C-alpha cells in the first residue's frame, strides 16, 4: 500500500508597504517606544493601504509562491486560508483568492483558529494529503489586523500588524516520516474565549449603530491571562510533540513560534533550553500578524537560504479561543 507524506516545498510572504513605528503610535495613544519595546519586543508593524485586503495580500503571496515552486495554479486541489480578518463574512477569502490566481479546480475555505490558524490549517491539509485524497494544497495565513484594531486603545493597537504568508503542500510517494510533515498537534480551551475576542459584528451582537458607537467591532484583550496561558501552552505542546516523536531540543534546527510577544518567545525558549540561533523572530519588524506569523517566518528562512532540504523545523502557537498548536516538519 502506498503511503503519502506531505512535503512543504516553498514559502513566501507579502507585507503592505506602509510602516507604522512606535514613534507614530506615540502620537496616536498614550504610549512610548520604551514601553512597547521592553514589554513586547515590537518596533514596527505594517499597515494595509485602502483596498489592500486579506485576499489581495494572500493572492500576492500565492502568486509569488507559485513562481518560487514552479507550479501551475490549475494543479491546486484545495486552498485553505487561515484568517480572523476575512475580506467579508461571506464568501470566504479563499474563494476570492482562488479567482485571483486562477486555481479553477481548487475547493476553498477559510479557517478561524486565530493565531493557530496556520498550524491548524497545516494539520488539516496534512490529513487530506496523507490519506491520498488530495495532492496539492495551498495554505495561506493572511490578516489585515488593522481592520479590527481600535487605534484609541493602547493595550491592543501597538501589538498587531498586517501581512500574509503562504506555503505549498505537495503529496510525495515516500514512507511517511522520511521527510515533510512528521506530526501535528491541536488543542483548544473555549473557557479562554473571554480574554481575547471581538464582541460585535457576529450573531451575538449584529452590527448596528450601537455596536459601532461602543467600538465593539474591535479586538479586545486581557493580556495577563493570555500571556500566562501562552507560555504554558506553547512550552507544553512543544515538549509533547518532541517526546511523541522521540526527539529532543538538540534535534531542532529552527523553532518557529507564534510571534505575539518577545517575552513569551524568550520564556518558552528558555524552558525548552533552545539556543538563540534556533529561534526565529520577525515580531520586531512586523508585530503580531495572527495567522500569518509562522508562514512569514518560514518565508524569511527560505528567502535567506537557511531552510535547506532536511532541516528540522518545530512550529508552535497559541491564540484566541484559546487555541494551541504545534507542527514538526522535515523541510523539503
The one catalytic residue among 95, 108, 115, 157 = 115
- Answer yes or no: 95 catalytic: no
Residue among 234 and 312 whose Cβ is closer to ligand UT7: 234
Residue among 75 and 188 whose Cβ is closer to ligand UT7: 188
State the minimum distance, in angstroms, from the CB of residue 101 to ligand UT7. Answer: 28
The one catalytic residue among 157, 258, 261, 282 = 258
Using CB positions, name the residue nearest to ligand UT7: 223
The one catalytic residue among 157, 282, 288, 297 = 288
State the minimum distance, in angstroms, from the CB of residue 152 to ligand UT7. Answer: 12
What is the 3-class SS of the chain, one letter each residue? CCCCEEEEEEEEEECCCEEEEHHHHHCCCCCCHHHHHHHHCCCEEEECCCCCCHHHHHHHHHHHHHHHHCCCHHHCCEEEEECCCCCCCCCCHHHHHHHHHCCCCCEEEEECCHHHHHHHHHHHHHHHHHCCCCCEEEEEEEEEHHHHCCCCCHHHHCCECEEEEEEEEEEECCCCCCCEEEEEEEEECHHHHHHEECCCCCCCCCCCHHHHHCCCCCCEECHHHHHHHHHHHHHHHHHHHHHHCCCCHHHCCEEEECCCCHHHHHHHHHHCCCCHHHECCCHHHHCECHHHHHHHHHHHHHHCCCCCCCCEEEEEEEECCCEEEEEEEECC
Residue among 80 and 159 whose Cβ is closer to ligand UT7: 159
Residue among 153 and 172 whose Cβ is closer to ligand UT7: 153
Residue among 82 and 226 whose Cβ is closer to ligand UT7: 226
- Answer yes or no: 136 catalytic: no
State the minimum distance, in angstroms, from the CB of residue 43 to ligand UT7. Answer: 13
State the minimum distance, in angstroms, from the CB of residue 210 to ligand UT7. Answer: 27
- Answer yes or no: 288 catalytic: yes
Binding-site ranges for ligand UT7 (CB under 6 A):
31, 35-36, 39-40, 115, 154-155, 158, 223-224, 226-227, 230, 260-261, 264, 288, 318-319
State the minimum distance, in angstroms, from the CB of residue 4 to ligand UT7. Answer: 32
Q: Indicate which residues carry an active-site annotation.
A: 115, 258, 288
Amino acid at each position: 500500500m502506498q503511503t503519502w507524506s506531505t512535503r512543504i516545498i516553498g514559502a513566501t510572504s507579502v507585507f503592505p508597504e506602509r510602516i507604522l513605528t512606535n514613534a507614530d503610535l506615540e502620537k496616536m495613544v498614550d504610549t512610548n517606544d520604551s514601553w512597547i519595546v521592553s514589554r513586547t519586543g515590537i518596533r514596527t508593524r505594517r499597515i494595509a493601504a485602502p483596498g489592500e485586503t486579506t485576499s489581495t495580500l494572500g493572492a500576492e503571496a500565492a502568486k509569488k509562491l507559485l513562481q518560487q515552486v514552479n507550479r501551475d495554479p490549475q494543479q491546486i486541489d484545495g486552498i485553505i486560508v487561515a484568517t480572523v480578518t476575512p475580506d467579508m463574512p461571506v464568501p470566504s477569502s479563499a474563494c476570492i483568492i482562488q479567482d485571483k490566481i486562477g486555481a479553477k479546480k481548487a475547493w476553498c475555505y477559510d479557517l478561524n483558529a486565530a493565531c493557530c490558524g496556520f498550524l491548524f490549517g497545516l494539520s488539516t491539509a496534512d490529513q487530506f494529503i496523507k490519506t491520498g485524497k488530495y495532492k496539492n494544497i495551498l495554505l495561506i495565513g493572511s490578516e489585515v489586523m488593522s481592520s479590527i484594531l481600535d487605534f484609541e486603545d493602547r493595550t491592543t493597537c501597538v501589538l498587531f500588524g498586517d501581512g500574509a504568508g503562504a506555503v505549498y503542500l505537495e503529496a510525495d510517494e515516500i514512507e511517511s516520516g522520511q521527510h515533510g510533515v512528521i506530526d501535528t498537534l491541536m488543542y483548544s480551551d473555549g473557557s479562554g474565549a473571554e480574554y481575547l475576542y471581538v464582541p460585535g459584528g457576529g450573531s451575538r451582537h449584529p452590527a448596528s449603530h450601537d455596536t459601532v458607537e461602543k467600538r465593539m467591532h474591535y479586538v479586545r484583550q486581557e493580556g495577563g491571562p493570555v500571556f500566562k496561558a501562552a507560555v504554558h501552552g506553547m512550552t507544553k505542546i512543544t515538549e509533547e510533540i518532541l517526546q511523541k516523536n522521540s526527539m529532543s531540543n538538540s534535534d531542532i534546527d529552527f523553532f518557529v513560534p507564534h510571534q505575539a510577544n518577545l517575552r513569551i518567545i524568550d520564556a518558552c525558549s528558555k524552558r525548552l533550553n533552545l539556543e538563540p540561533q534556533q529561534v526565529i523572530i520577525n515580531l520586531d519588524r512586523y508585530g503580531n500578524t495572527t495567522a500569518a506569523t509562522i508562514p512569514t517566518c518560514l518565508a524569511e528562512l527560505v528567502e535567506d537560504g537557511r531552510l535547506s532540504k532536511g532541516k528540522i523545523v518545530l512550529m508552535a502557537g497559541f491564540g484566541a479561543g484559546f487555541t494551541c498548536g504545534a507542527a514538526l516538519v522535515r523541510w523539503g
